[in-house]
């Protein structure tokens, strides 16, 4: 693992600064170009393996962004993609072949479930979904052809926490590659590579960008695996645009301070909801009563900015509540400075079968909040007024 020169707060701001030489621009230049000119064909040959050949292979602005991520995650290398889903699909196709098998947690992002259960079988790659926190089930699902253990922690939208030490020990025993979607945690709250996870993935669209103004994906990890993923990315073509890479660099400069505020706000909102009579259950890793709170507090530095809760009412009540909010904008996605709200069965998990959703505990009454960096008092007041649309007596009769 790569030693860090500075603390994360410093690396977030200064980590990839080598393009800003003395007397050069402080802000990283955007190399908004598809291709790079060379003086002769010898130089052309040398350029092929660099970030100054053709932007589908790499680009200096992208390299700076990747260097910051390496520092934040504490990994050997990192690569950026056109979206989080693109990072997942390219990486899995880079590492597996027909006849291989994946063990995946049941509670993962809906798009990942669809890729594993609908697309990968077309290439002869099978997936067994296991209970997220039952590690005996993980062990029993491993076959001689299993290559990958696919994880997500905390999970979307149920906020379950995976024991990273247990899963890495299991993977080592069976020589499996560990791949984690760490989008909800960010490297500020959790650094999976420190626990021995091989590949760490993020939807960079979320906290890394931080302002809901770009789409990108991140994979960071072991150099040998990242090299394979890099080669596949150049063929599959899902590379980040240089301008999006620049926006990402700007977003990452404030990642540490934003995440700290998200953590504080989300905990306060979770505590408020937990005591509200019209709320049945609140899911937040650092909330008193969360089944894995002790584990979360041991392996995470903060609970993150996302929480979900179930109203004491019907699906219709949940929908009306989300429409009655003023400060939480009704929109999918998460991780930006603006607070957002959505109903997972209509958004992040709409593409997952009702049966699979049931096993995950994703109910029709579940609401997911992405708590932004506004005043927690204002956000709580907004929730308080919106909860008046839920009528517990009427709905309890319907359930």
Ligand X SMILES: Cc1ncc(COP(=O)(O)O)c(C=O)c1O
Q: Which residues are catalytic?
A: 56, 109, 181, 206
Question: Residue 383 is encoded by which pair of tokens?
Answer: 């929730």
Task: Rank residues 85 and 387 by Cβ distance to ligand X and give the closer one.
Answer: 85
Among 60, 74, 111, 302, binds ligand X (CB under 6 A): 111
Task: Rank residues 8 and 182 by Cβ distance to ligand X and give the closer one.
Answer: 182
Cα-based angle 131, 136, 141 (whole degrees, multiple of 5): 70
Among 203, 308, 322, 363, binds ligand X (CB under 6 A): 203
Task: Rank residues 53 and 208 by Cβ distance to ligand X and give the closer one.
Answer: 208
Among 28, 59, 205, 365, binds ligand X (CB under 6 A): 205
Question: Residue 265 is encoded by which pair of tokens?
Answer: 């706000």
- 158-187 footprint of ligand X as x/- string (CB under 6 A): -----------------------x-x----
Contacts of residue 382, Cβ cutoff 8 Å, sequence gap at least 6: 325, 326, 327, 328
Which residue is listed with tokens 């584990």?
A: 295
Segment contacting ligand X (CB under 6 A): 59-67, 79-87, 167-175, 371-379?
79-87
- Cis ω for the linkage preceding 154 (within 30 of 0): yes
Among 36, 53, 109, 272, binds ligand X (CB under 6 A): 109
Segment contacting ligand X (CB under 6 A): 7-15, 78-86, 115-123, 129-137?
78-86
CA–CA distance, 294 with 284 (Å, rounded to integer): 12
CB 8 within 8 A of CB 256: yes
Residues 346-375 that bind ligand X (CB under 6 A): 348
CB 12 within 8 A of CB 65: no
According to the binding rule CB under 6 A, does residue 241 interact with ligand X?
Answer: no
Give the Å distances, CA to CA, from 102 to 79, 117, 219, 281, 351.
22, 11, 18, 32, 20
DSSP 117: I
According to the binding rule CB under 6 A, does residue 84 interact with ligand X?
Answer: yes
Interface with ligand X by CB under 6 A: which residues?
83-85, 109, 111, 156, 181, 183, 203, 205, 215, 217, 333, 348
């Amino acid at each position: 693992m790569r030693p860090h020169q500075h603390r994360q707060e410093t690396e977030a701001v200064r980590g990839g600064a080598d393009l800003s030489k003395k007397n050069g621009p402080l802000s990283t230049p955007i190399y908004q170009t598809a291709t790079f000119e060379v003086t002769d064909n010898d130089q052309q040959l040398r350029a092929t393996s660099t970030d100054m050949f053709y932007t589908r292979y790499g680009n200096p602005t992208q390299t700076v962004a990747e260097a910051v991520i390496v520092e934040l995650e504490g990994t050997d290398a990192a690569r950026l993609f056109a979206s989080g889903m693109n990072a997942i699909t390219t990486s899995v196709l880079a590492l597996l072949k027909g006849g291989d098998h994946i063990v995946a947690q049941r509670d993962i992002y809906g798009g990942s479930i669809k890729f594993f259960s609908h697309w990968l079988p077309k290439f002869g790659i099978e997936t067994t979904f296991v209970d997220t926190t039952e590690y005996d089930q993980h062990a029993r699902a491993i076959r001689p052809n299993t290559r990958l253990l696919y994880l997500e922690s905390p999970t979307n939208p149920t906020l379950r926490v995976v024991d990273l030490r247990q899963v890495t020990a299991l993977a080592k025993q069976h020589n499996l590659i560990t791949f984690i979607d760490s989008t909800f945690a960010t490297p500020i709250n959790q650094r999976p590579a420190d626990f021995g996870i091989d590949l760490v993935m993020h939807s960079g669209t979320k906290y890394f960008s931080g302002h809901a103004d770009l789409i990108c994906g991140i994979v960071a990890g072991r150099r040998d695996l990242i090299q394979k993923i890099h080669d596949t990315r150049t063929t599959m073509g899902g590379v980040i645009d240089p301008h999006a890479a620049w926006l990402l660099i700007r977003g990452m400069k404030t990642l540490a301070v934003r995440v700290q505020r998200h953590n504080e706000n989300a905990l306060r909102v979770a505590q408020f909801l937990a005591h509200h009579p019209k709320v049945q259950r609140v899911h937040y890793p650092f909330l008193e009563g969360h089944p894995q709170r002790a584990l979360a507090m041991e392996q995470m530095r903060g609970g993150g900015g996302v929480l979900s809760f179930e109203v004491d009412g019907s699906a219709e009540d949940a929908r009306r509540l989300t429409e009655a909010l003023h400060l939480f904008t009704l929109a999918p996605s998460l991780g930006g400075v603006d607070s957002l709200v959505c109903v997972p069965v209509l958004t992040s998990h709409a593409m997952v079968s009702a049966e699979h959703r049931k096993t995950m505990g994703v109910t029709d009454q579940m609401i997911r909040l992405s708590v932004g960096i506004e005043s927690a008092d204002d956000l709580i007041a907004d929730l308080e007024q919106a909860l008046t649309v839920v009528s517990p007596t009427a709905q309890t009769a319907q359930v």
